Chain A
Amino acid sequence: MQSNPAFIDVQAVEMVFSTRKGSFHALRDIHLQVQQGEFITLIGHSGCGKSTLLNLIAGLLLPTSGLLLCDKREIAAPGPERAVVFQNHSLLPWLTCFANVHLAVERVFGARESKAQLDARTQAALELVGMGHAAQKRPHEISGGMKQRIGIARALAMEPKVLLMDEPFGALDALTRAKLQDELLKIVARTRSTVVMVTHDVDEAVLLSDRIVMMTNGPAATIGEILSVDLPRPRDRVALAEDPTYVHARKSVIEFLYSRHAHVEKAA
Chain B
Amino acid sequence: MVSAVFHSPREAALEAAAAAKAAPVVVAAKPVEPRAPRQPFDWRGLWLQIIPPVLGLALMVGIWALLTMKGGAFPTPAATFEAAVKLFADPFYSKGPNDQGIGWNILFSLQRVALGFGLAALVGIPLGFMIGRFGFLNRMLSPLISLLKPVSPLAWLPIGLLVFKSANPAAIWTIFICSIWPMVVNTAVGVQRVPQDYLNVARVLSLSEWKVMTRILFPAVLPYMLTGVRLSVGTAWLVIVAAEMLTGGVGIGFWVWDEWNNLNVQHIIIAIFVIGIVGLALEQLLMAVARRFSFDD
**Which positions in A face B, CB cutoff 8 Å?**
58-60, 77-80, 82-84, 86, 88, 90, 92-95, 103-104, 107, 138-140, 158
Binds A, one of B71-79, B94-102, B194-202: B194-202
Q: Which residues does chain A contribute within 8 Å of B197, judged by CB atoms?
A: 86, 88, 90
* Proximity bits, B273-296, A CB within 8 Å = 1, else 0: 000000000000000000000011
- Checking B200, B219, B220, B296 against A90 with a beta-carbon cut-off of 8 angstroms, the contacting residue is B200
| Bound complex: CA A107 to CA B211 (Å) | 10
User: A78-B206, A80-B206, A107-B207 are known contacts. Are A86 and B201 too (CB-CB below 8 A)?
Assistant: yes
6 additional contacts, CB 8 Å, given A60-B200, A78-B204?
A60-B203, A84-B204, A86-B201, A92-B198, A107-B207, A158-B205
A136 to nearest B CB, angstroms?
15
User: A92-B198, A140-B295 are known contacts. Are A77 and B206 too (CB-CB below 8 A)?
Assistant: yes
| Bound complex: CA A158 to CA B204 (Å) | 11
A106 to nearest B CB, angstroms?
9
Confirm or deny: B297 has a beta carbon within 8 angstroms of a beta carbon on chain A. Answer: yes
Which of B200, B205, B219, B297 has the largest number of chain A CB atoms within 10 A? B205
| Bound complex: CA A140 to CA B294 (Å) | 12
Q: Which residues does chain B contribute within 8 Å of A84, judged by CB atoms?
A: 200, 204
Contact B198 A90 (CB under 8 A): yes
> How many A-B pairs fall under 8 Å by CB?
55
* Proximity bits, B203-246, A CB within 8 Å = 1, else 0: 11111000100011001100000000000000000000000000
Contact A58 B204 (CB under 8 A): yes
Q: Which secondary structure characterizes the binding site on chain B?
A: helix
| Bound complex: CA A78 to CA B206 (Å) | 7
Contact A92 B204 (CB under 8 A): no
Show 22 residue pairs from A and B whose CB-CB distance is below 8 angstroms, ordered by the A residue: A60-B203, A60-B204, A78-B200, A78-B204, A78-B206, A80-B206, A86-B201, A92-B198, A92-B219, A93-B297, A94-B220, A94-B295, A95-B215, A103-B205, A103-B207, A103-B215, A107-B207, A107-B211, A139-B297, A140-B295, A140-B297, A158-B205
Contact A104 B205 (CB under 8 A): yes
Q: Which residues does chain A contribute within 8 Å of B215, judged by CB atoms?
A: 92, 95, 103
- Checking A79, A93, A138 against B206 with a beta-carbon cut-off of 8 angstroms, the contacting residue is A79
User: A92-B215, A92-B216, A94-B219 are known contacts. Are A78 and B203 too (CB-CB below 8 A)?
Assistant: yes
Residue on B nearest A106 in the bound complex, by CB: B211
Contact A83 B204 (CB under 8 A): yes
Q: Which residues does chain B contribute within 8 Å of A92, judged by CB atoms?
A: 198, 201, 215-216, 219
A85 to nearest B CB, angstroms?
10
Closest 4 pairs between A and B when the two form their complex, measured CB to CB: A90-B197, A94-B219, A93-B295, A78-B203
B210 to nearest A CB, angstroms?
12
B205 to nearest A CB, angstroms?
5
Which of A78, A79, A82 has the largest number of chain B CB atoms within 10 A? A78
Contact A138 B200 (CB under 8 A): no
Residue on A nearest B205 in the bound complex, by CB: A107
Q: Which residues does chain A contribute within 8 Å of B198, judged by CB atoms?
A: 90, 92
B59 to nearest A CB, angstroms?
42
Contact B205 A82 (CB under 8 A): no
| Bound complex: CA A35 to CA B136 (Å) | 44
| Bound complex: CA A60 to CA B206 (Å) | 11
Contact B201 A90 (CB under 8 A): yes
Q: Which residues does chain B contribute within 8 Å of A103, judged by CB atoms?
A: 205, 207, 211, 215
Contact B204 A138 (CB under 8 A): no
- Checking A82, A93, A139 against B204 with a beta-carbon cut-off of 8 angstroms, the contacting residue is A82
